[in-house]
């Protein structure tokens, strides 16, 4: 499955590694406004759900559900937002975002809110650790 | 499953009925800029994926995949965009949107593009028919 997989540099640039699950790499988007996970299936050339084998799709959806749980446990948001676009970076990546009624874009979509400030180094390390701990417990 | 289910009036107001699958009602969003399906699980009180039983989640994801196929067959877009927010309307609804490099929001998210014009009645009826035909063939 992972043969030849390389993380797209545009995804890598704005995110930090959290952990690897059986199919996806989990990464934290470096936007201090929103707790925001990316799930990147370690597959070559996958862009649409229909590109996945039945087994990979099933695992991807199990990891999406588990990613929702990780976000809920780690940051206790008011709502989870989920999305997959790929209009700019075709390498498949799923967004799992914890939203708060008090956040900078509520109730709008974060995708309409432009780029935000990066985390301070310490805050980022702390959140990555919290997410990684939840991800280890909830690994699907 | 369907006992007591009522479609949220805000979802109903801006959409047209396409068909009912085992779990979800499929509806077309009345925005002439983007071919845009909503999948609404006929469940009471479901807002997050974690609110679904294991069986309902599995069926929901099977219908999400099939909804992707329906959009691909019916309109042959360049990319499929998928999202689930629920920040404004908590009743769970999944967005499956066919995107074209030539569309009004490309490569941005349609959620940043405000409201668009409604379909002309004939164009809407034709698209609903096309989607319903594909949905009948691809029913999961």
Angle CA A94–A17–A109, to nearest 5: 35
Cβ within 8 Å, pair B111-A107: no
pLDDT value at B51 more than 60:
yes
Task: Note whether A21 and A38 are within 8 A (CB).
Answer: no
CB-based contact, A88 to chain B, within 8 Å = yes
Share of chain A above pLDDT 90, in %: 95
Q: What is the mean pLDDT of chain B?
A: 96
Interval B49-72 mean pLDDT: 98
First to last CA, chain A: 17
* A114 against B53, higher pLDDT: B53
Residue A33 has pLDDT above 70, yes or no: yes
Report the pLDDT value the prediction gives residue B92, as an integer from 0 to 100: 98
Order of all β-strands in the sheet with B24-29: A15-20, A24-29, A36-41, A94-99, A79-84, B79-84, B94-99, B36-41, B24-29, B15-20
pTM here?
A: 0.97
| CB contact (8 A) between residue B49 and residue A64 | yes
**pLDDT tens digit string along A55-113?**
999 999 999 999 999 999 999 999 999 999 999 999 999 999 999 999 999 999 999 89
Query: Which residue from A95, A99, A13, A85 is spatially nearest to B105, judged by alpha carbons?
Result: A85
Vertex B85, ends B82 and B91: CA angle to 5°? 110
Task: Look at residue B123 and tell me whether its pLDDT is greater than 60.
Answer: yes
pLDDT of amino acid A21: 98
**CB-CB under 8 Å, B81 with A83:** yes
Question: Is A36 within 8 Å of A28 (Cβ atoms)?
Answer: yes
């Amino acid at each position: 499955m992972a043969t030849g997989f390389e993380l797209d540099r545009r995804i890598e640039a704005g995110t930090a590694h959290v952990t690897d699950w059986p199919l996806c790499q989990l990464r934290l988007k470096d936007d201090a406004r929103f707790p925001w996970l990316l799930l990147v299936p370690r597959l070559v050339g996958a862009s649409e759900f229909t590109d996945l084998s039945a087994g990979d799709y099933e695992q991807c959806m199990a990891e999406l559900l588990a990613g929702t749980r990780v976000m809920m446990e780690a940051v206790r948001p008011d709502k989870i937002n989920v999305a997959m676009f790929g209009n700019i970076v075709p390498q498949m990546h799923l967004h799992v975002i914890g939203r708060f009624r008090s956040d900078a874009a509520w109730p709008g979509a974060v995708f309409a809110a432009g780029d935000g400030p990066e985390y301070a180094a310490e805050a980022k390390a702390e959140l990555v650790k919290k997410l990684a701990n939840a991800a280890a417990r909830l690994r699907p």
